[in-house]
């Protein structure tokens, strides 16, 4: 199973970084609602475990908000391996913008 690991630095207070990250999943639902289903997320402190189905493929992962960085781990299905680099780049770009 291909794994995407992205660590994005930030200079925000943990609660502000977490607030912004919480909006990310809601925004993704709005933007890709017709392609994404079975969205679930569970916050436990500063960690969010999440999962969804995209184009029929199951994806899961977690985000951890830490002082100075947000670490994102995404487990992709094997069928998504050719898209791994593009997915990683898009996640990093969006997270950097969100946490700027």
Quick one: what percent of the chain has pLDDT higher than 90? Answer: 50
Confidence class for position 9, pLDDT limits 50, 70, 90 = very high
Count Cβ atoms within 10 A of the Cβ of residue 43 and give its class: 0-12 exposed, 13-18 middle, 19 or more buried: middle
Domains parsed from the chain with CATH numbers: 3-79 (3.30.200)
pLDDT of 60 above 90: yes
- Outline where the chain has alpha helix (H): 14-32, 84-99
- Is the confidence at residue 30, as pLDDT, over 80? no
Lowest-pLDDT choice from 29-38, 56-65, 84-93: 29-38
Comparing CA positions, the residue from 23, 17, 15 lying closest to residue 41 is: 23
As a whole number of angstroms, the distance between CA 18 and CA 100 comes to 13
pTM comes to: 0.85
């Amino acid at each position: 199973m291909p794994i995407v690991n992205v660590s994005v630095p930030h200079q925000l207070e943990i609660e502000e970084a977490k607030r912004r990250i919480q909006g990310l999943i809601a925004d993704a639902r709005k933007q890709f609602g017709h392609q994404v289903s079975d969205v679930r997320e569970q916050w436990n402190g500063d960690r969010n475990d999440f999962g969804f189905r995209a184009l029929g493929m199951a994806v899961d992962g977690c985000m951890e908000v830490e002082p100075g960085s947000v670490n994102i781990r995404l487990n992709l299905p094997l069928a998504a391996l050719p898209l791994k680099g593009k997915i990683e780049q898009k996640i990093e770009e969006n997270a950097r913008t969100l946490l700027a």
